[in-house]
Amino acid sequence: MNSDKREAMFSRFKAANPEPKTELEYSNAFELLIAVILSAQATDVSVNKATRLLYPVANTPEAIFALGVEGLTPYIRTIGLFNTKAKNVIAACERLCTLHDGCVPEDREALEALPGVGRKTANVVLNTAFRHIAMAVDTHIFRVSNRTGLAPGKNVLIVEKQLLKFVPKEYLLDAHHWLILHGRYVCLARTPKCPECSVSDLCDYKPKTVLKEAQVAGTSGAAKYARKTSKKKSSKKPSQAKKKVPSKVAK
């Protein structure tokens, strides 16, 4: 994908969704941090269901730390890996209280030093809460970047660096949200919704382009295959049915 196509891609994303937002529910940097920790290998929907119950009870490092692992676990039991996440959240809250006066640090190194916080989580917090230019590459963004040709790479770190290099500067701040939403709802892992894709003509993914063109013409690849198959079958001589031998009539 060349620079003109990248420019056009994000121009269309912005026109359709001028102010993209995360689907995680939060009201401050701390709530976002906890939600992102909980979202690892879990859906935003499941995290939101849990935090809607948790945050009215405890939404500060001090309050959640006071719950302890046993007190926190019932609130997040419906989320995958809840035992490990409960331990990480309590440990992170303790560290925030003792080292950062209960505040979420606006610094990558300090964020990544918190239990349960890796590079992707730190990038989400820096970009979403503090509006820093940062690119959190999850499975959706990794797929979209490689499939479309936007920023191909063998691992998430390479893709992150490629995105920061190739995404036009005016779109960098919100690029993370546009890409994750595109991967979550349009450029799906198994069957991308090519006919619904607003950037299909810019995409380097050849099967998607063929599917788009075929459906616009009113004929899918499957339909073409079905017609060819039926023609081959019709050209063959029908097999003659075996003649039934009449049974002997009883005298």
Question: Which residues are annotated as catalytic?
Answer: 120, 138
Three-state secondary structure string covering the chain: CCHHHHHHHHHHHHHHCCCCCCCCCCCCHHHHHHHHHHCCCCCHHHHHHHHHHHCCCCCCHHHHHHHHHHHHHHHHCCCCCHHHHHHHHHHHHHHHHHHCCCCCCCCHHHHHCCCCCCHHHHHHHHHHCCCCCCCCCCHHHHHHHHHHCCCCCCCHHHHHHHHHHHCCHHHHHHHHHHHHHHHHHCCCCCCCCHHHCCCCCCCCCHHHHHHHHHHHCCCCHHHHHHHHHHHHHHHCCCCCCCCCCCCCCCC
Joined together, the tokens standing for residue 21 give 């937002």
Q: Residues 179, 180, 185, 191: is their CA dihedral positive or negative? A: positive
